């Protein structure tokens, strides 16, 4: 068995590789390989992978990059993600990518797609607008149309034929990765003391830019090595972390929250890569693209950036709290993130109805001071332990 230190060392090296040298090495290892950047949250991973394009999630530069020129593009009341993403581009760190996909997550990412097009004309830029409608048939037809066009374009770029067989194979690879991700989530839920959040986070961030089969093997190696640690549980509360689905908090912040007395047993940090429900069932659909479309429409997780006709996000959060045997919820939103911050009241209303305690704080990806967050998380943990409420 590979040692846990070796695996974590590899994960840290990948995480720190903001110039994407590992993506460059993957592309150079075989002809016709592409790599496409995907902004949070929606990314058609199976479609990209089927065309021979590595999906590479671009989640900003975090605290590993000083943002200078990227700041000049945005006002002070805009979140940090577009600034550091532009900085990455201006420094040439995203040159290895053949294109970028911008989903309609929020006004900021919508705007960034235009800025990107004019600043980096060498990139193929695609804006994807996932369906926002309560009418399933037209939503499915629309998304099928969009993804089929994208698939054709990518295959033409890669010089391969756009076949159903390629889509079938990609669905199988991504489904295997999803199975490993579910095993990871289950192991963390059962033994968070052996699978600390900052390591699990590194592993899930590795999925942002690894071929799915390679990540599946790495995830299973990590789970086996982490469970073999045999650590003893500590007296901490169990929490779900909600709202950090786009701009990412620094790893040190996650570590600080856990060390303050919490086990983070569930989160939405890598929404878009994690499995959200059953995988595409090819047998139940006419063709693999239909299966991909139906899986997304029926199963993706209710969130602040997804049309939620039946206001199911609050109920879904309560179910996640119950499923993970969590004692409460930590709302962690990036500063100036409208989707995350505007979503909080409707979620807390449902938590109040179920007497589930919560607390909230804001961060930015380059936050360097964690003392106040550590104190807040620690006070929350103590209150829940003593009185069962915050």
Q: Which residues bind ligand SF4 (CB under 6 A)?
A: 79, 81, 105-106, 108-109, 246-247, 334, 337-340
Nearer to ligand SF4, 78 or 185 (CB): 78
Q: Token pair of 273, please?
A: 């890569």
Place of tokens 């756009």: 162
Question: What is the closest distance, in whole angstroms, from the C-beta atom of residue 338 to ligand SF4 in the complex?
Answer: 5
Question: What is the closest distance, in whole angstroms, from the C-beta atom of residue 276 to ligand SF4 in the complex?
Answer: 17
- Contact status, residue 123 vs residue 93, Cβ threshold 8 Å: no
Torsion of CA 182, 185, 189, 195, to 10 degrees: 140
218 conformational bin, left if phi > 0, alpha if psi -120 to 50, beta if neither:
alpha
Question: What is the closest distance, in whole angstroms, from the C-beta atom of residue 250 to ligand SF4 in the complex?
Answer: 14
Question: What is the closest distance, in whole angstroms, from the C-beta atom of residue 7 to ligand SF4 in the complex?
Answer: 30
Nearer to ligand SF4, 108 or 273 (CB): 108
β 34-38/99-103 pair status:
parallel
Nearer to ligand SF4, 107 or 135 (CB): 107
Nearer to ligand SF4, 58 or 206 (CB): 58
β 53-57/34-38 pair status:
parallel
CA distance 237 to 28: 46
**What angle separates helix 136-158 from helix 288-299, to the nearest 10 degrees?**
130
Nearer to ligand SF4, 61 or 334 (CB): 334
Nearer to ligand SF4, 83 or 236 (CB): 83
Question: What is the closest distance, in whole angstroms, from the C-beta atom of residue 35 to ligand SF4 in the complex?
Answer: 22
Nearer to ligand SF4, 52 or 82 (CB): 82
**Residue 190 three-state SS:** helix
Question: What is the closest distance, in whole angstroms, from the C-beta atom of residue 132 to ligand SF4 in the complex?
Answer: 15
Q: Which of 41, 36, 38 is nearest to 106 (CA)?
A: 41
Residues 6+ apart with CB under 8 A from 70: 82, 83, 84, 85, 86, 87, 90
How many angstroms separate the most distant Cα atoms in the chain? 63
Question: What is the closest distance, in whole angstroms, from the C-beta atom of residue 231 to ligand SF4 in the complex?
Answer: 34
């Amino acid at each position: 068995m590979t040692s846990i230190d070796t695996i974590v060392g590899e994960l840290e090296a990948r995480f720190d590789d903001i110039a994407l040298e590992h993506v460059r090495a993957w592309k150079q290892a075989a002809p016709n390989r592409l790599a496409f950047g995907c902004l949070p949250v929606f990314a058609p991973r199976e479609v990209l992978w089927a065309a021979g394009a590595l999906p590479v999630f671009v989640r900003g530069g975090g605290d590993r990059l000083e943002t200078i020129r990227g700041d000049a593009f945005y006002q002070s009341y805009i979140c940090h993600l577009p600034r550091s993403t532009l900085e990455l581009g201006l420094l040439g760190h995203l040159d290895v990518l053949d294109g970028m996909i911008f989903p309609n997550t929020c006004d900021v990412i919508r705007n960034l797609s235009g800025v990107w097009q004019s600043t980096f004309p060498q990139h193929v830029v695609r804006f994807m607008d996932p369906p926002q409608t309560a009418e399933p048939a037209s939503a499915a037809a629309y998304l099928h149309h969009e993804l089929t066009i994208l698939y054709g374009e990518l295959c033409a770029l890669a010089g391969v034929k756009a076949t159903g067989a390629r889509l079938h194979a990609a669905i199988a690879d991504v489904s295997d990765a999803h199975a490993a991700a579910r095993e990871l989530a289950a192991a963390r839920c059962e033994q968070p003391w052996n699978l600390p959040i900052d390591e699990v986070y590194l592993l899930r961030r590795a999925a942002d830019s690894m071929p799915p089969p390679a990540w599946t093997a790495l995830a299973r190696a990590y789970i086996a090595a982490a469970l073999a640690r045999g650590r003893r549980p500590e007296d901490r509360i169990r929490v779900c972390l909600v709202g950090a689905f786009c701009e990412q908090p620094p790893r040190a912040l996650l570590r600080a929250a856990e060390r303050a007395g919490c086990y983070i047993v569930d989160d939405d940090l890598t929404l878009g890569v994690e499995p959200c429900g059953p995988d595409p069932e090819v047998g139940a659909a006419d063709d693999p693209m239909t299966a991909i479309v139906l899986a997304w429409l029926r199963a993706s997780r209710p969130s602040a950036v997804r049309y939620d006709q039946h206001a199911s996000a609050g109920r879904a959060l309560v179910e996640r709290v119950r499923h993970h045997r969590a004692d409460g919820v930590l709302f962690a939103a990036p500063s100036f993130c409208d989707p995350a911050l505007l979503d909080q009241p409707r979620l807390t209303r449902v938590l109040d109805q179920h007497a589930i305690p919560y607390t909230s704080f804001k961060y930015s990806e380059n936050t360097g001071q964690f003392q106040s967050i550590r104190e807040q998380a620690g006070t929350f943990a103590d209150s829940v332990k003593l009185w069962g409420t915050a």
